[in-house]
Homo-oligomer: A and B are copies of this chain.
Amino acid sequence: MGRRTIRNMEEFAALIGISRPTLSKYFHDPDSVRQSTRARIESAVERYDYRPNFFAMNQNRKLTKNIGIVVPYLADPFFAEIVRVIERQCISAGFSPTVFSSHGETELENDILDTLRSLKLAGALLAPLGRVSDKSAIETFCENVPTVLFDSNLEGMGEAFVGSDNHSFVEQTVQYLCRTGEPPCFYEMRNPANPNANKRRNAYIAVMEEMGLEPQFVRIDGQGWEFEEIGREGGLKVLREKSLPTNTVLCSNDRLAIGFLSACYENGVSVGRGNDCELRVASHDDHPFSKFTCPSLTTAAHDYAAVSDQAVETLFRLIESGGRFDTRTETQFPARLIMRESA
């Protein structure tokens, strides 16, 4: 609707009949100007469709309202879902989140961190790749940008860590499975990239030994992030070779379990907790699709809401504290057992 296009804030201010610094102040915080002035500005913004230049705006600002969100693999529904929630919370709080995915690659993660560093972020929420992360690159990043780690913890990096308590996941599933049937073997990738996988393995060993039982592993081959396919191939193999040591399988994560269940179905192996079933399968994560597997998957759920709330809230506190905490805190939320049909 604007008669002509506005070049800059100077012109726009003149058009409204106020000074540029006042306008600048308005864009920085609409409540910092008088109500009548604000109304005039806002009606003019409507009419002329003016927006301040993003780059000029951020160039001289001490601190921007930009937040960087980095996850290892955005095509994983688990991360997609948690990012979805976190993004919304940042927007609600008046920040501008930007999402990046490392696509499972160390080099890309480093590139993203480099890009982010030049963005004068107010803060960053970083879920690192884990084992394949370039530790020194992440350390350098955290020194330059107020960062809260989530999902995967890297010893001492960032101002805080928020995630789930892997021990709690495994403890609940193992105890439940032992209480209701044969003790489970642990189905996992031989070389998992994610540090959470190692923690789950260790938790499994600890819980089993505590109960006086011997840990048993089914380790499958595979690289990359296509966990369903890896879980399926591994499942087809162990079913063909009949090498499962027990009738109860505890998968390290839901994506592996989804693949494993598909292998069971294909081989006509009945899964469930009924007496007529050959196998019980449980897992961890409460993946968005675990409700729709056949049978539906018994799993230990992340407290998605608590993790994302806490991560975001911690970051906001960090930003308000000027980017540094006195002591690094680690928050880990316990899991919640979701009993469905598979075990």
Contacts and interface: CB of A to CB of B under 8 A. Distances in A.
A317 interface: no
Given A51-B117, A88-B103, A120-B55, A77 B80 contact: yes
Contacts of A228: 289, 291-292
A98 B58 CA distance: 17
A218 to B, nearest CB: 19
A98 B76 CA distance: 18
Give the dominant DSSP class at A's interface. helix
Interface in A320-343: 341
Contact of A101 (B76, B84, B119): B84
A24 to B, nearest CB: 15
Contact of A118 (B53, B84, B266): B53
B75 A261 contact: no
A298 interface: no
Contacts of A43: none
Interface in A135-194: 140
Contacts of A88: 103
A54 B119 contact: yes
A340 to B, nearest CB: 10
Chain A interface category by residue count:
35 or more
Interface string A85-111: 001100100001011110100001000
A273 interface: no
Interface string A292-307: 1111100000000000
A259 interface: yes
Nearest to A341: B266
12 contacts: A55-B58, A55-B59, A75-B77, A77-B77, A87-B101, A96-B115, A99-B99, A99-B101, A228-B292, A262-B291, A262-B292, A262-B294
8 A-B pairs closest in CB distance: A294-B294, A265-B294, A54-B118, A75-B80, A55-B59, A262-B292, A55-B55, A55-B58
Given A75-B81, A265-B294, A293-B294, 5 more contacts: A53-B59, A74-B80, A74-B99, A84-B101, A294-B294
